[in-house]
Amino acid sequence: MNDALKRYVKRKVGQGQRPAWIIKSYLPSLLIVFIMVVLVFALIFVSSMSKAIEDTLVYLGCGNLLSNSYIDSSALNSDERVFSVTNASAIVASQDSTALVQVKGVTEDYYFDKKVEVLNLTTVDNPTTLNSVYLSKTIASSLNVTLGDRVSVLIFDEEEERARPVFCFVGGLYHSGYGEFDSHLIFAPFDMVDGVITYELYTPRSDELRGILEQNGITVSSYKEVYAAIYENIIRSVSLLDMIVVLVGILAGFFAISISSEYIERDRRDIAGILLLGIKRDDVVKAYKSITIKVVIVALILGCVLGILSSYLIMPFISNLDTSKYPFLLNYVISFDVVVPIKTILLLCIALVLSSLASLKLSLKKMIFSDIKAAI
């Protein structure tokens, strides 16, 4: 492409033009902008939700690592925590209903900041001498109880080999949005639950610490193994959505043909004049391919930016919705931090640009010269 055509391309993509001309020129690319906003928002939303579900598996489930053997907390780093937890099955009853639950007996320090955040835990002071139990909003709704109410927990006592009822105070309600836990898990004081003791370990260096513990003869399992089916389902769902989004992006690339058609129709006389000046037809094709791709790339960047911005604006709003006003939200994880999957978004952009190039290569040459015959 010679220097004259290069300057022509720059002018057609907006260099030195008035804002009104630039806005009008880029209008045909708005569909790609809209598609990118939707696709990027969908990618971010699903990635953020999947990360929130993983956090639920860790902080509401069994920690990063789980062991049946005692772990000495003095050997851990300052940002690592280990808790002794008892587990037992029980029946919790109110005046209106009963529910079969899994009781997790924990100490007070078990509710550290990150766990409270993931649990969306709300508590009240206990003015009684009763044990405080923390129910999920799902269980509380089924029992028709709320904060400050009383429930009876029928729990098996291994020493006496019988079930014993314990009258308890509902001191907290949590909501993870993940039914695997919310529908059956409650928390109680450690001494109240006479069950199997396990050790939950919370650490940012799971693989490294696991190797160290196993070298010392302590067998541990990660949350990915304890909840293998759930974790695999998360990975499979995210991978499937990524693949669908990239395929939609590839299809969206063929809208580049429509953009080129608009520009060719707009520039019929300019193209005819260029050809009459002796410019080769292949060079004209390259020029309009360059114009279209530049416009597509601008639309991609704008769509990505708007998609990311909309995620940061909308997702906190969703996370702050009051589940008591929207009961259907109890079945979903709605509280999560925004996670931007940079690699997947880049893959989407590359796929769209490549499909645009392919579509232009297949149709642009024929499009130009069939549309301008009358103008030459």
Average pLDDT over residues 44-55: 87
**Full DSSP string of 24-75:** HHHGGGHHHHHHHHHHHHHHHHHHHHHHHHHHHIIIIIIBSEEESS---GGG
**How high is the pLDDT of residue 39?**
92
Please state the pTM of the whole predicted model. 0.76
Average pLDDT over residues 307-334: 71
Residue 160 has pLDDT above 80, yes or no: no
Find, among 24, 16, 10, 31, the residue nearest to 258 by Cα: 31
Task: Return the sign of the alpha-carbon dihedral for residues 166, 169, 170, 171.
Answer: negative
pLDDT higher at 62 or 23: 62
109: number of Cβ within 10 Å: 8
The alpha-carbon radius of gyration of the chain (Å, integer) is 30
pLDDT higher at 194 or 351: 351
Q: Which two tokens stand for residue 155?
A: 């729990």
Query: What mean pLDDT is reported for the chain?
Result: 83
Relative to beta strand 185-189, strand 122-123 is unpaired
Q: Percent of the chain beyond pLDDT 70?
A: 81
Strand partners, 334: none
Task: Return the sign of the alpha-carbon dihedral for residues 81, 85, 91, 96.
Answer: negative
Q: Percent of the chain beyond pLDDT 90?
A: 31
CA end-to-end distance (rounded Å), the chain: 21
Q: How far is residue 89's CA from residue 186's CA, in Å, rounded to a whole number?
A: 10
Average pLDDT over residues 319-333: 59
Task: Return the sign of the alpha-carbon dihedral for residues 95, 96, 100, 102.
Answer: negative
In this prediction, residue 222 has a pLDDT band, given cuts at 50, 70 and 90, of: very high
Find, among 245, 229, 258, 202, the residue nearest to 345 by Cα: 245
